[in-house]
Amino acid sequence: MSLTIERIILPTFTRTLNTLSGMLKKGEAYAEARGIDPAVLVNARLAADMHPLKRQIQMVTDTVRRVLCQLAGQEVPSVADTEETFAELHTRIESTLKFINDFDTTALVDSEDKTITLPLGENGLDLDGATFAMGFGIPNLYFHAATTYNILRHNGVELGKIDFLGQP
């Protein structure tokens, strides 16, 4: 079986979304057990100039939709960034998992060689599909997932490496 874009990104996206859901559940339980207003964790950030936890989740889910749609040559659906609670963040993750499950993966066939233009600089940056997925999409996904993990850990939530990596 050959290595294809869909074999790389679909399991990676799904596993990462599931691990984020698990981390959020632990964050929720931590807040409840200690009598902390859940909004404190949802709005927590590592540094004043960084996005809060809720925005990290939004950016992970946006990345999933953007990468899949750009590789498939489809318009990226707009999703409002209105989540303010753990429940709303869980719903966003669940809707993104549904988006992946409902996505027509035949649209990804041969997308490795498709040209994707990122809106960077004056003329944009052209990347082939494989470079876009592995050099931009997956690193962006992991950056925001790791930042979510770090925000929760920084605030005392007991998470370990397996909480981030999940089950393959």
Instruction: Select the more confidently predicted residue: 39 or 168.
Output: 39
For residue range 77-128, list pLDDT tens digits in order: 999 999 999 999 999 999 999 999 999 999 999 999 999 988 888 888 899 9
Mean pLDDT of 1-14: 89
Give pLDDT, residue 3: 83
Delineate the domains of the chain, giving CATH numbers in brackets: 5-162 (1.20.120.450)
Which of 29, 93, 19 has the alpha carbon at shortest distance from 62? 93
Token pair 């632990």: residue: 26
Give pLDDT, residue 133: 96
- pTM of the predicted protein model: 0.94
| Residue 71, pLDDT above cutoff 90 | yes
Percent of the chain with pLDDT over 70: 99
Which parts of the chain are beta strand (E)?
115-118, 125-128
Inter-CA distances, 59 with 63, 86, 111, 128, Å: 6, 15, 23, 22
| Residue 136, pLDDT above cutoff 70 | yes
Angle between helices 5-34 and 53-72 (to 10 degrees): 160
| Residue 10, pLDDT above cutoff 80 | yes
Give pLDDT, residue 89: 98
Name all contacts of 138-141 with Cβ < 8 Å and 24+ positions apart: 138/8, 138/9, 138/12, 140/59, 140/63, 141/12, 141/13, 141/16, 141/60, 141/63, 141/64, 141/67
